[in-house]
Amino acid sequence: VSTQIEDALGDGAVDCVIISTPTPSHASLAQRALEAGKQVFAEKPLCANAAEVWPLYECAAKRGLLLFTAYNRRYDPAIRLARDNLRGGGRGRVLGASLVSPDFPY
C-alpha cells in the first residue's frame, strides 16, 4: 500500500493499481499505470469526460490489461430492498443471490 504512484508502478510484484483520488487526476494516473503494465481499478467516475476515457480503453486493450471502474451499489434502493427481503425470512435458507437492476428510478 502506498500513496505514491511511483512506488506501485516501479514494483514488479504489483499487478493492479487502485485509483481513488480526486476525479481530475484519474486519467493521467490510469494512463501511467496502464503504460507500466498494471491492471487499473478506478473509483467512479473513471474520468472527467468521455474524451479522456477512450484513450485509456485503447491503451488497456492494446496491452491486454483490465480497466475497471468501481460502482458501489450498496446504498442503491433496489439493493437495499433485495437485502431487506432476503433478511426478512420466509424464503428458507438463502445460499446465494443474484440481482440485476436498472438504474434508479425504477
Of 6, 16, 37, 44, which is the active-site residue? 44
**Identity of the amino acid at 49:** N
Which DSSP string corresponds to 75-106?
A: T-HHHHHHHHHHHT-SS----------PSSP-
User: Would residue 38 show up in a list of annotated catalytic residues for this protein?
Assistant: no
C-alpha cell recorded at residue 88:
426478512
Q: Which residues are catalytic?
A: 44
